[in-house]
Amino acid sequence: MTRLAASGLKVSRGGRWILQSVSVEAQRGEFIAVLGPNGAGKSTLLSVLAGLLKPEEGRVLLDGQPVAGIAPRLLARRRAFLPQNPRCDWPLPVERLVALGLTPSLPAFGGFTAEDGARIELALAACDLLEHRQQSATTLSGGELSRAMLARALVGDPDLLIIDEPLTGLDPRHALDAARRLGRLAREQGKLVIAAVHDLNLALRHATRIWALRDGRLLADGPAATTLNAALLREVYDVTGCVAGEGAQAYVDYA
């Protein structure tokens, strides 16, 4: 069971409301794309849902337990969080960077087990990083580092993944691979995936639901296939467009 429920979330900064009474619910098997223009409150919402930022009002429950009350090590085992524009300032080999995602479950002493090694191998392969495994993380391109950080989030096999713009900076092939993988994690493995996404076409084709934010308010919450439409594009982004096609062939067409 993985169920996340947030109610009445309010966050302000500098006298301005970043989140205004946002309430959402999500459960295992869903890939939720969080949409909205820059400054809509997406990153703040994800940080609150991950238990990294305390709201001024409202609460977040994970399987009925307040996220704020879950022991950090236990929460880290169940939930992986990948922030926007992640950085690595240490010249770690890529495989060691990815292995940091196993920290909450590693023993206090000793090296990796065979199982840990297998998990690292799978994460590297999933994010097309096997040939970079011994390369210093500080020498990776922006897109390669994004993939390495995504591998670090995936390696611990968490029940809940909260990811802020995982597709930004990736070339088309790797962005598509990442979107497909997040969709499969929800659909085939029963994970709960919540990700801020700017590519509306990838969100439309691979997410099961969308949450659309603007000015800290939740404007829409529903199935991606029916919720992302011309009216929402206009309300959220101030653009004129429509959704053409269906299923895997659906796409956003801007006027």
Q: Could you list the residue range(s) of the whole structural domain that residue 187 is in?
A: 3-88+158-254
pTM of the shown model: 0.92
pLDDT confidence band for 111 (50 / 70 / 90): low
Residue 143 lies in a domain: no
Top-confidence residue, 103 or 253? 253
Residue 242 lies in a domain: yes
pLDDT confidence band for 112 (50 / 70 / 90): confident
Residue 185 lies in a domain: yes
The pLDDT tens digits for 191-224 are 999 999 999 999 999 999 999 999 999 999 999 9
Question: Quick check: 34 pLDDT over 90?
Answer: yes
Residue 129 lies in a domain: no
Question: Quick check: 109 pLDDT over 80?
Answer: no
User: By C-alpha distance, which of 125, 136, 21, 154 is closest to 89?
Assistant: 136
Top-confidence residue, 248 or 131? 131
Q: What is the spatial distance between Cα 114 and Cα 120, in angstroms, rounded to a whole number? A: 10
Residue 142 lies in a domain: no
Structurally, the chain folds into a number of domains equal to 1
Residue 71 lies in a domain: yes
Question: Quick check: 171 pLDDT over 60?
Answer: yes
Query: Mean pLDDT, the chain, as a whole number?
Result: 92
Domain CATH for 249: 3.40.50.300
Residue 115 lies in a domain: no
Residue 168: predicted pLDDT = 83
Angle at which helix 114-126 crosses helix 142-155, to 10 degrees, equals 140
pLDDT confidence band for 164 (50 / 70 / 90): very high
Residue 59 lies in a domain: yes
